[in-house]
Amino acid sequence: GAVVSQHPSRVICKSGTSVKIECRSLDFQATTMFWYRQFPKQSLMLMATSNEGSKATYEQGVEKDKFLINHASLTLSTLTVTSAHPEDSSFYICSADPAGGQETQYFGPGTRLLVL
């Protein structure tokens, strides 16, 4: 089956630093990738839609200058949390939509971010 990886799986950083999270589709190409955020005991909230070669589309309330998304290739999207603060601590999950219009997204294992 299709596999999506995320790196790192867990990161602890100091307040004010920037953190980059990678999302890779390992055995398929993904024209579209999605970034979600999940707070403890809550559901996934879509942050942005990332399209290869174009600017990401951000959901309402998500600061595009704080959460920088780059989708430079059909197998890699990155999310950079700039000037992270403790309230950014969360579980970040990406998903990839295979090229060719398949019906389901494939989700990565998530990245746990803790900002001290």
Collect all residues with Cβ–Cβ distance below 8 Å to 108 and sequence separation of at least 6. 4, 5, 6, 23, 93, 94, 95, 96
Give the total of residues touching another protein (CB under 8 A).
25
Helical H segments across the chain, by residue range: none
Report the C-alpha gap between 28 and 112 in whole angstroms.
25
Of the candidate residues 17, 42, 73, 83, the single one contacting another protein (CB under 8 A)? 42
Contact 97, 34 (CB under 8 A): yes
Nearer to another protein, 34 or 67 (CB): 34
- Span from 13-21, 62-70, 77-85, 101-109 in contact with another protein (CB under 8 A): 101-109
Q: Smaller CB distance to another protein: residue 25 or 95? A: 95
Under rule CB under 8 A, residue 54 binds another protein: no
Decide: 13 and 75 in contact? Cβ < 8 Å: no
- Residue 6: CB minimum distance to another protein, A: 8
Positions that interact with another protein (CB under 8 A): 4, 6, 32, 34, 41-46, 49, 91, 93, 95, 97, 101, 103-110, 112
